[in-house]
Copies of this chain bind each other. A is one copy, B any other.
């Protein structure tokens, strides 16, 4: 069961879906979270799923809420801008088949608002300290390449990437089947033991702003990341587990004795 609760139904015109769920470096989470705050976007729907961790999270020290994803919207404010659906949340699916189900629900929901385009944000773990992280791009439709000229996105790094995991990838792959065009922007970051990387988030955000024709004051980003940190720490734990779950590897057979008396 994956369920979307609609809080209010905004009228949107040809909106773009921007995904910023937790992931490597929490780059998407930080970038979309910052956009929501700076643009004054409004929450209009929540998604819950049995494929998420069986957890409630604490906010404001003692109040709980079930882990969830949230849809926010923001209407175009001037010519050259677009209506936006901003997707943010506590976690992604835990099981592979859950990713398919949740991403299908997200796309169907976005499509019901006339959405025909999706941009997903994520991190590319390089295993090295990135002094000047780049924004790496991937596309569903080859012919869209020219559209993103001058946005600072490097589209030549595919060989280093190989594949894109979770919502950042599936929203593109499953969207393509529905005729939704997709772009993924990945910020280079040091990688695995996940640490929030505001520098990589900034690089991703700068390219995104160019695409969306939006101007944000980036000076508050680092400060905001510090403020978000408590929340992000928890999210990181969840996300780390979910990613690990997907990429878990087998072990050699255990040689030692099993403590437990085991029967059957």
A residues touching B (Cβ–Cβ < 8 Å)?
Answer: 1, 23-24, 48, 50-67, 93-101, 103, 122-127, 137-142, 145, 155-170, 172-174, 176-177, 182, 184, 186, 191-193, 230, 233-234, 237-238, 240-241, 243-264
Q: Are B164 and A263 in contact (CB under 8 A)?
A: yes
Contact with A162, one of B57, B65, B173, B246 (Cβ below 8 angstroms)? B57
Is chain A's binding surface mostly helix, strand, loop or mixed?
Answer: mixed
Taking a contact as CB atoms under 8 Å apart, the answer to whether B241 and A262 are in contact is: no
A101 surroundings in chain B (CB, below 8 A): 50
Residues of B within 8 A of A255 (CB): 193
Residue of B whose beta carbon sits closest to that of A5: B177
Count identical subunits in the complex.
Answer: 4
| A156, B261: Cβ atoms closer than 8 Å | no
CB distance from A33 to the nearest CB of B (A): 17
| Contact A249-B254, Cβ < 8 Å, known A163-B56, A164-B64 | yes
Q: Is the CB of A138 within 8 A of B257?
A: no
**Complex: A169 Cα to B187 Cα, angstroms:** 34
Across the interface, do B97 and A161 meet the contact criterion of CB distance under 8 Å?
no
Task: Tell me whether A169 and B264 are in contact (CB under 8 A).
Answer: yes
Q: Is the CB of B96 within 8 A of A164?
A: no
Question: Which of the residues B54, B140, B155, B262 comes within 8 Å of A170, measured between beta carbons?
Answer: B54
**7 extra A-B contacts, CB within 8 A, seeds A60-B158, A248-B250:** A51-B97, A53-B246, A55-B169, A58-B162, A58-B163, A65-B176, A161-B261
Q: List 20 A-B contacts (CB under 8 A).
A: A1-B100, A54-B165, A56-B169, A58-B164, A61-B155, A61-B156, A61-B157, A62-B137, A64-B173, A65-B176, A124-B263, A127-B258, A159-B230, A162-B234, A163-B263, A164-B264, A166-B264, A168-B263, A247-B258, A253-B259
